[in-house]
Amino acid sequence: MITENKDEVCSRAYRLIRPGHMEETFLETPIPEGHVVIEPTLASICHADLRYYTGQRRPEALAKKLPMALLHEGVGRVVHSTDPELQTGERVVIVPNIPGYMQDGITPEECCPVCKDGPGGNYCSRGYFLGSGIDGIAQNRLVIPASCAIPIPSDLPDEIAVLSELCSVSYQALQRVRDRWGRARAAVFGDGPVGYLTASMIHHLFGLDKDRLKVFGADPNKIDKFHFADCAMVQEYDFAAAETVDIAVECTGGRFSESAVNQAIDILNPGGILILMGVTEERVPINTRDVLEKGLTLIGSSRSYAPDYYQVLEAMKDPSYQQTLRQILPEEWTRISKLEDYIEAMNDAAEHRGWKKTVLAFQW
């Protein structure tokens, strides 16, 4: 509950103490001017959360960041606001990427060289990210800058809006080559959630249909979901005889990054663009000879920031886009009313890494 003087809040948090071990604790958090207090209502589990939970991050990273409340994909309602633009009871998307100047109450010029020279965005050297360095959404009172609480359009349901964080990551990457989509042929590598949401955004927001959009996957049950694209099983495809593309997006990550990156290089036209979105803990060898000979551009992108959400939420109002997004949502939400429910949900997600997202409905 919010304390009587309204300057701090006591939050009940589910924190990861060490891999596989959660505890319920209480956090006292100040409410600076320009911040809001949010009660999270829906959240989805990301593979990044599972890497922390199962101890797949490097030991030094775990030692530095834990204990910590996980989760960074979520929506909630405002329960207290110091900003006149956001009212109590308003539904909002939670933006996990917080530039340092917003969190620390300083100006962009005082923050870091990136923020001083521009908007900062993803590259603020003093930035904070919920569930990765600071406590995330798994708490009943979350204090964030008002600029990181984006109102949800009245005609957009929460279960679609909860996908906006992942979709905004795709948008951040794809909009960096927005001038190329008009006539481009494109390929997406990866049939997981990131690949699906990225490919669906290329289709719905940038207008590429089957004749210009190819998706490579390894699981026939997953690749069949990409009804809007021309699909191929990567292990059966002849890349030596492949049609070439102008833009390739690598969304595989992990141990398959090396093969996906180099297959993308194989089919890119001279002057083409390779967007790297798959996350791996290891270094990935790549075919630099063809990168040089073709004059390829490699773009890395892994996060998004508040301005990206407005474009994504506006696009999500399209019923056909919503229908595509619903393919990745579960038939039922996982109800979380106590710590044991949350632990069970995390264990289940870690043991059964299915194609669909796990959506948690918090009942605080």
**Same domain? 135 vs 175:** no
Within a domain: 305:
no
- How far is it, in rounded angstroms, from Cα 315 to Cα 301? 21
3-state helix, strand, coil in the chain (%, to 5): 35, 25, 35
CA angle, 261 then 267 then 268, to 5°: 85
Q: Which string of b and e fits 319-330 if b means at least 16 CB within 10 Å?
A: eebbebbeebbe
Supply the CATH number for residue 52's domain. 3.90.180.10
- How far is it, in rounded angstroms, from Cα 252 to Cα 255? 8
Instruction: Share the mean pLDDT of the chain.
Output: 92
Within a domain: 25:
yes
Within a domain: 279:
yes
* pLDDT score for 353: 76
At 172-188, the pLDDT tens digits run 999 999 999 999 999 99
* pLDDT score for 136: 97
Q: How far is CA 103 from the centre of its chain?
A: 20
**Same domain? 56 vs 87:** yes
Within a domain: 285:
yes
pLDDT higher than 80, residue 121: no
Across 130-138, average pLDDT: 94
Q: How far is CA 9 from the centre of its chain?
A: 27
At 136-186, the pLDDT tens digits run 999 999 999 999 999 999 999 999 999 999 999 999 999 999 999 999 999
**Same domain? 40 vs 172:** no
**Same domain? 150 vs 210:** no
What percent of the chain is predicted at pLDDT more than 70? 98
Within a domain: 239:
yes
Q: Which amino acid is at 133?
A: G
**Same domain? 141 vs 205:** no
At 68-85, the pLDDT tens digits run 999 999 999 999 999 999
At 303-362, the pLDDT tens digits run 898 999 999 999 999 999 999 999 999 999 999 999 999 999 999 999 987 789 999 999
What is the number of structural domains in the chain? 2
Within a domain: 338:
yes
Across 258-270, average pLDDT: 95
* pLDDT score for 286: 92
pLDDT higher than 50, residue 4: no
Place of tokens 């009660």: 39
The residue range of the domain holding 60 is 8-96+131-163+329-362
pLDDT higher than 70, residue 125: yes
Q: How confident is the model at residue 120 (pLDDT cuts 50, 70, 90)?
A: low
**Same domain? 19 vs 141:** yes
CA angle, 65 then 69 then 75, to 5°: 130
Across 255-275, average pLDDT: 94
pLDDT higher than 60, residue 5: no
Across 32-41, average pLDDT: 95
* pLDDT score for 39: 98
CA angle, 120 then 124 then 130, to 5°: 110
- How far is it, in rounded angstroms, from Cα 150 to Cα 62? 30
**Same domain? 212 vs 296:** yes
**Same domain? 221 vs 262:** yes
Lowest mean pLDDT among 26-40, 101-115, 176-190: 101-115
- How far is it, in rounded angstroms, from Cα 72 to Cα 364? 18
Within a domain: 153:
yes
CA angle, 314 then 319 then 325, to 5°: 85
**Residue finishing a domain among 300, 316, 350:** 300
